Amino acid sequence: MATKTYAGVNIEVNDEGYMLDSLKWSKEVATEIAKEEGIELTDKHFEVLDYIRTKVANGDTLTIRGINKSGVVDAKTFYQLFPGAPLKKATKIAGVAKPESCI
């Protein structure tokens, strides 16, 4: 495990860079993680991140299909907001564990 500093906060991360304590997450932390991923966050990004954090807090499984049905964003827009590996990037920026469905 490693420690990274985002927005002046020391945060423990796993080998893939996912936060180990999601309680240390903030919009400022998310913004800095997103910069590392080459993403500049907008209000729409934060809507998606809030949705993801709520789903995870409720113990729900995250999938792209579920995000598509969320009413927050459709799959095409989700891929545009988080290009490359959208679910992996979005969960990392949201400060939650990588979904088991992601390789």
SS (H, E, C) 14-80: CCCCCECCHHHCCHHHHHHHHHHCCCCCCHHHHHHHHHHHHHHHCCCCCCHHHHHCCCCCCHHHHHH
**Per-residue pLDDT for the chain (103 aa), expressed as one digit of tens each?**
799 999 999 999 999 999 999 999 999 999 999 999 999 999 999 999 999 999 999 999 899 999 999 999 999 999 999 998 999 999 999 999 877 766 6
pLDDT for the residue numbered 102: 66
Active site residues: 102
Q: Are 93 and 33 in contact (CB under 8 A)?
A: yes
Nearest CA to 97 out of 42, 43, 60 is that of 60
pTM (2 d.p.): 0.92
**Cα separation of 51 and 72, whole Å?**
8
**Cα separation of 89 and 11, whole Å?**
17
Q: Are 90 and 37 in contact (CB under 8 A)?
A: no
pLDDT for the residue numbered 99: 77
